[in-house]
Homo-oligomer: A and B are copies of this chain.
Amino acid sequence: MKPTHIEHIGIAVKSLETAIPVYEKLFGLSCYAIEEVAEQKVKTAFFKVGQTKIELLESTDPEGPIGKFLEKKGEGVHHIAFAVDGLAETLTEMDAAGVKLVDKTPRKGAEGLNIAFIHPKETIGVLTELCEKPE
């Protein structure tokens, strides 16, 4: 695989209501969408910076992945997502090469993207997602 760019940076925050004004006032970014991803138990706020999105992630359930992350590590970067072409083929190749994957086939993520997570044991402390725009 060869990622084309950083698609987004996912940042866990306790409260979107507190965090959105920081990104708007301090960094001059515009929140262009807020989306709830029920399956992931998060509410997400999106900002665009060049090729990359900042996704602020507020937990909607302490037992969800962001809820647990906040409990364990506090607020901060939760994951990085690379944009790739040919996500399904990439995952098949990684799986064949013995790379541990959370998702062996693409699933739907925020904004309708096809996404998959690599198992964190493979990526040295940084939870890493791969994303592809659907056809």
Contacts and interface: CB of A to CB of B under 8 A. Distances in A.
Interface string A21-36: 0100011110000000
A23 to B, nearest CB: 9
Which label, helix, strand, loop or mixed, suits the secondary structure of the A interface? mixed
Nearest to A83: B50
A27 B3 contact: yes
Given A5-B51, A50-B5, A51-B5, A77 B75 contact: no
Interface range, A side: 35 or more
Interface string A86-114: 00000000100001000000000000000
Interface of A: 1-6, 9, 11-13, 18-19, 22, 26-29, 49-52, 73-77, 80, 82-83, 94, 99, 118, 122-126, 128
